[in-house]
Chains A and B, each alone.
Chain A
Amino acid sequence: MALMSSFAPRLSDADLLARIQSYHWWHSIALREGLTTFGGKTEAILAQEEQALLSPFDLAGRSVIDIGAWNGYFSFAAKRRGAARVLATDSYIWNHPIWRGRETFDLARAELGLDVEALMLDPPQITPQLGLFDVVMFLGVFYHLYDPIEVMARLRGITRQLLLVETHSDLTDQARPGMVFYPGAILNQDATNWWGPNPATMLHLFLQLGFTRIFYRDHPTLGRARGIYAAFTPEVAEGLILRFDDNWRDLDVPGAIEALVTA
């Protein structure tokens, strides 16, 4: 249902291209035939990430929140995969005077005509008042937070079934849980990067926060440098998980971390 676009006058292709070009994009999103946003992440990479992140799950009828949605690629993907309700949230990039993320999200949403809600929300402000979501997506945000432990605890409070985390990793050759702190702009010349956890740390945090099953896979294109985690609450419904392919491993079993480190 093209709710938004039915009210806004449809832009000509030339006008849409001009609008696209007036913004910086992180996600390459095909808005129309032949009109794709020029994102730092290519369509091909995003397709692989989407496949890695979302294909194990049946999102039909689920509620999904996307924390740090930026241009909205994964929110749109969840909606297209049948989610009943998708709430895209962001703050830093959405309010940023150069990145103007909220405007990019609004443009893409209107063009795609997807019924995705948007909320200006900084992760440290997450509260149970947001309600519970079957699936919480926390992709590329963990390492941007000075206090990711607090935000993980807050995420637990809004997760009904599944918390999906994608993050930069460090100390990946160590089986003991640890995380590296990056003062200033040490990591990738980006002053918004703070922490690099290893898989053992993420497992530790998930378990401490009351997630009971935790699965892990390497990033589809960047490998061990970034990790993808699916952490389930005890309330997970049978039907949510379709199938974890061979890239995934069960992390909450004895020896799993040691096996991962030597793999």
Chain B
Amino acid sequence: MNEAELRSAMGAHRWLQSLRLRDTLLTPGLKSEAQLREEEAALFDPLNLAGADVLEVGAANGAFSLAALRRGARRVLATDHLPWTLPGSDALSATQWAAHALGAPLETRAQDPRELSAAFGSFHLVLATACFEQWFNPILALRGLRSVTNRILLLETMQDALADARPIMMAQSHHAPIGGVQGSWVAGWAPNPPLMLQLLIDLGFDRILYRNHPSLGSARGIYAALLPEAPDGLLAGFAAPWANLTHPQG
């Protein structure tokens, strides 16, 4: 396809994320390329993805999955649930089309994270951004994510109840640009860091790192949670502003 053809095919989709398809061709996504780039750096810069098997949950248009492939991941499976399955949704076909346009070997599958289990497979890295706030049952969804992780879970989420030292999550209902053109109401939760820490520990993660969102501060947080099987060497790339919540430095 030449660029004009690409541009017209691109226009047939509604875009959640701004994906760079060519130097002069960017999908008109609701989330800007700049924000995606800074989030990608915050999430992936500490890690060496070469040869990794990666599962993304809540992939939207797959911006981070495509980034993982660019960073040398061996296999990347992008999944999403409501945005890919609600009546009238276009995000899965948009994502598949973008991967094709980029020539990226991205796998895709519609998947409810609550139904993930070990039978689904096992991934070095499991990534979920902006999901917690759309999970009606984050306890069950996190258990699903845990069951398919064999090294590290990266989780980016909206946060709330930051002034309280007790573990808390606040329920969120918001109108999201998913499903049909009019969008849909989605219910989920926003945790505070003490809650995330406790939920991740309860799932068996033994080293948990945290940083604020690169531009939105503590309104959103990023967690990296390592399983006991993950070598300590994985921690080397996590420099400030990352902080180790389970083993705070003296």
Contacts and interface: CB of A to CB of B under 8 A. Distances in A.
Q: Do A and B come from one complex?
A: yes
A153 interface: yes
Interface residues of B, number: 18
B137 A178 contact: no
Interface of A: 146-147, 149-150, 153, 171, 176-183, 200-201, 204, 208
Contacts of B169: 178-179, 181
A157 B3 CA distance: 52
Closest 9 CB pairs of A and B: A177-B171, A181-B167, A178-B170, A149-B137, A147-B139, A204-B171, A183-B198, A180-B168, A208-B187
Interface string B156-177: 0000110000111111010000
A150 B168 contact: no
Contacts of A200: 171
Contacts, number: 48
Interface string B108-136: 00000000000000000000000000001
B47 interface: no
A202 B105 CA distance: 44
Contacts of A149: 136-137, 139-140
Nearest to B136: A208
B171 A150 contact: no
Interface string B174-210: 0000000000000100000001001100100000000
B139 A146 contact: yes
Contacts of A182: 167
B170 A150 contact: no
Interface string B137-163: 101100000000000000000001100
Given A178-B161, A181-B195, A208-B187, A147 B167 contact: no
A95 B161 CA distance: 38
Given A181-B195, A183-B198, A201-B171, A150 B187 contact: no
Contacts of A180: 166-168
A164 B217 CA distance: 41
B137 A179 contact: no
Interface of B: 136-137, 139-140, 160-161, 166-171, 173, 187, 195, 198-199, 202
Given A146-B139, A150-B140, A179-B168, 8 more contacts: A147-B139, A177-B171, A178-B160, A178-B170, A178-B171, A181-B199, A204-B187, A208-B187
A157 to B, nearest CB: 14
A177 B136 contact: no
Given A150-B139, A204-B187, A208-B187, A181 B171 contact: no
Nearest to B161: A178
Given A178-B160, A204-B173, A208-B187, A147 B140 contact: yes
B132 to A, nearest CB: 13
Nearest to B185: A208
A204 B198 CA distance: 23
A181 B198 contact: yes
B137 A147 contact: yes
A177 B167 contact: no
B168 A178 contact: yes
A172 B140 CA distance: 25
Given A178-B160, A183-B198, A208-B187, A150 B167 contact: no
B139 A171 contact: no
In the complex, which of the residues B169, B171, B199 has the most CB atoms of chain A within 10 Å of its own CB atom? Answer: B171
Contacts of A176: 170-171
B100 to A, nearest CB: 37
11 contacts: A149-B136, A177-B170, A178-B169, A178-B170, A179-B169, A181-B166, A181-B167, A181-B168, A181-B195, A181-B198, A201-B171
A151 to B, nearest CB: 10
Q: Which of B160, B170, B195 has the most CB of A within 10 A?
A: B170
Contacts of A146: 139, 202
B53 to A, nearest CB: 28
Nearest to B197: A183
